A and B are shown apart, each in its own frame.
Chain A
Amino acid sequence: MELLVNGNTHVVDAPEEMPLLWVLRDMLDIKGPKFGCGVGACGACTVLIDGEPVRSCVTAAADISGAVTTIEGLPDGERLHKVQEAWIKHEVPQCGYCQAGQILTAVAFLERTPNPSDRDIDMAMDNLCRCGSYPRLRAAIKTAAGLEG
């Protein structure tokens, strides 16, 4: 199969049902998407496919035709994405393990909802963070949306 990841085309020889997460991590050595649950329940493995957030642990690589963006492909060259900048400003990450998934989920969310309410944020940002970085995460999203801070 052929996969377009962060602008590069990869030809991969993987079983039909192999989830994108493991193709990325174990075959293409793209480690940004993290393994958290394997059943679509935590969001650590989130990537963007044509801009939409997708849980890559439950998405077969063979089914994907769109362009995959992982956290590695988010910055514009050396320039971090504004969501990443906001994450640094608010020092969101604790252990950091969930954050690639959180950031990509936030990027897609803000594309769709540039002026989110608190309620919008709560509804869209459903990824698990076991460190409980939620208060800072909320603040960082508002900054990235240009709402405050």
Chain B
Amino acid sequence: MGRIAKYTRRGFLGLGIAAAGGLAVGYYYYQKPYPNPLPDTLEDGEFTFNPYVIIGLDNRITIITPRAEMGQGNHTTLAALVAEELEVDMDQITAEHGPAAPAYYNSAMMRDGAPFAFFEDGLVAETVRGAMGVVGKFLALQVTGGSTAMVDAYDKMREAGAAARMVLLEAAAARWGVPVENLKAARGAVLHPNGEQLSYGALVAEAALLKPPGSVVLKDPSEWRILGKSQQRVELLEKVTGAPIYGIDVELPDMLHATVSMAPRFGAKALSADTAAALATPGVLNVVEFVTNTEVGFGIVASNTWAAFEGARALNPTWEAASYPGDTAGLTALFDTTLAGEETFTMGGEGDAPGALDAASDRIEARYSVPFLAHTTMEPMNATAQFRDGKLKLWLGTQAPGLAASASAALLGIEAADVEVETLRLGGGFGRRVEADAAVYAAAIAAQTGGKPVKVTWSRETDIQHDAYRPMAVAQMRGALKDGLPEALDMRVAAASINKSFLGRVFPSLGGGGADRSILDGGFDQPFSWPHARFAAHQVDTAIPVGFWRSVGNSVNGFFYESFLDELAHAGGIDPLEMRLKMMQDPRHAPAREALKAVARMAGWGAALPEGVGQGISHVLSFGTWVAEVVQVDMRSGKVKIDKIWAVADPGLVLDPANLKDQVSSAIIYGLSAAIGQEITFADGRVMQENFYDYDALRMAGCPEIEVALLENSPRMGGGGEPGTPPVAAALGNAIFAASGQRLRDLPFGNSVEFDLG
């Protein structure tokens, strides 16, 4: 814990902070690197070689894994990248999240924001992706999201391990007076041909003084000892013993507890509040007000969390009316009107879809919809803050420590450099903890506690009613067939821009964010050849905050697109798998074909099934990973029972097979919970759902058997945490159609059919 304490004592966010001390021998990968933040955090007898590696005289090896660990096991795999090249074993290392620092920016995430399909690698696409990576570096976004942790780290962290190993070898060569070529590194030591060896700890003091290598040669994957093989997760013991590792577990001397009470209608102001009643609640110490970019609210400060909750109940504020249609029916009408009007922008596409559709004799048309969704991370939103002498400290589980710092600094009118963030474990993220709101509200309350630290815990009700929701969306799909095969597609989608909503919350000065590809992600960028296709976004603006929900736009459009393809297949009288394969003839689509064929084999696709039992198939490419899924349902009882789900995922390169399979399975269950039963609805401008009793998720009894297989045909590496989610809703709906002939076009399906969940 020693170093963790040091992270909290020093600030690393200012770009102006140089690597202090005499050991700043960091190895850097790009022309203008950010400084290595680690020298300031070292304990006695420790040395750092670059932002990822610390080695102690006592042979303790610490690998910095600067992404949020929210259940996806990325600390294990990130550490393995370094360990592989450093030539140490996984049982010799400790993984630490490390400080918030620009050295850990995530460029892969910005690359993925470019408006091109993953398999598009023409010059323009590559140039724009490269430029967006530079933007990521400029903003120093240390973000965990977009399933980018591995893609971003793959070279950087292997190079970091190799660079440290090379200077350790050099130090040993100098000590022994033998050419470095004669030496070998293994299991944390350098081996002399004569059988002698020197541990890294014995060499580290000398090695740290050497100049880092200008270039490194990485191992060929055939030589890997660790990567490509399943590793035991590094944080198991603390998680089975209830260790206080999450943001919500922070305990500090003199710490106060608080909760927030905010406008149930987004953007509304308070008309009245019963402060006296709140203050009369035993344990309540103070009621403060705060105003941020997004919300107006109250902080109820107390001696414990429960008293704060009780105080918030007693406060019972009344609020202004909403600025947007107050109920779901009104919102639906707004979406339909927007859809009937001019599009905001189009993306991708081929030929002349409207012309081809007008000319076609064999046409089908359908309207689809998905609701707003909350994230409901298992650990409700919370953050702990202390504001003293113009400086802010934050303790929280976050996917974006840099954003938490800059947004809090902006609210308090201080420099981001005067904010320190200690990132703790996350009890779930799913995109929710990219948001800075929990940090900002904690900062606002901490500014009114006389310098005392305050832990601000949201009730589950607040967590559900103040989310940045997966956007509601409505799609109008038109398709034409020719000789039984799809000829033209016109896909129009009405949804809010996540970029615009998000930037408004964290970087209001940056404006609307332009054309937001998330409105069409999972549709325009899919591996199909259409003679004619058009993908149009109809942007809807409301004050309802929307954000990044596991797989973002792909979960929305994957459902629209893959369900409608199924409709086209049935209309054309062709097998849905067969039809997809026929539309994926481009060599660049090969990974999709292989994934579909593999999943079909696993599921026994095409075999005769009893009446009332059916299989549905779908494929979505998202975050660079190709995922095909088959769902089998049994509806003979009149209810939908999910027999089994098969999935094949191709991320190009599998670094930890067991962990990746877990991620795919987890993502499927997350998407399945939503497809079956989740929706956020509105009445009188407020979210109607409150807690798990009316916004539940699958429990064990309802969780079907899931079988996952992995492929490595894709030419580039993709992500792991999200791509399992997008195909599942369509595969389930397609299975229900196969079993019953009933086509479901609106999520959640539980509104139309009953599920047997055990």
Residues of A within 8 A of B (CB): 15, 18-19, 21-22, 25-27, 29, 31-39, 41-42, 44, 70-72, 74-75, 80, 84, 87-88, 91-100, 103, 121-123, 125-138
Contacts and interface: CB of A to CB of B under 8 A. Distances in A.
Interface in B172-221: none
A137 B700 CA distance: 9
A29 B251 contact: yes
A78 B666 CA distance: 32
B241 A84 contact: yes
Where chain B touches its partner, the secondary structure class is: loop
25 contacts: A15-B283, A22-B304, A25-B305, A35-B248, A37-B692, A38-B459, A39-B692, A41-B693, A42-B378, A70-B242, A71-B242, A74-B241, A88-B236, A91-B236, A93-B235, A94-B662, A94-B666, A95-B69, A95-B377, A99-B239, A121-B700, A128-B699, A130-B378, A133-B666, A138-B700
B71 A94 contact: yes
A128 B703 CA distance: 11
Contacts of B33: none
Contacts of B245: 96
B242 A100 contact: yes
Contacts of B705: 135
Nearest to B249: A31
B427 A34 contact: yes
A93 B701 contact: no
Interface in B415-452: 425-430
Interface residues of B, number: 63
A135 B701 CA distance: 11
B700 A42 contact: no
A87 B242 CA distance: 13
Interface in B336-382: 376-380
B78 to A, nearest CB: 16
A31 B697 CA distance: 25
Interface of B: 69-73, 232-233, 235-242, 244-246, 248-249, 251, 257, 282-283, 304-306, 309, 376-380, 425-430, 457, 459-460, 658, 662, 665-670, 691-693, 696-701, 703, 705-706, 758
B703 A134 contact: yes
A26 B454 CA distance: 13
A35 B457 contact: yes
Given A93-B235, A96-B235, A130-B430, 18 more contacts: A22-B305, A33-B242, A34-B379, A36-B378, A38-B309, A80-B241, A94-B73, A94-B666, A95-B70, A95-B377, A97-B378, A97-B427, A123-B701, A125-B699, A125-B700, A130-B697, A131-B666, A132-B698
A137 B698 CA distance: 14
B305 A35 contact: yes
Contacts of A97: 246, 378-379, 427-428
Q: Which of A95, A123, A130 has the most CB of B within 10 A?
A: A95
Contacts of B69: 95
Contacts of A70: 242
B306 A18 contact: yes
Contact of B304 (A26, A103, A123, A125): A26
A131 B460 contact: no
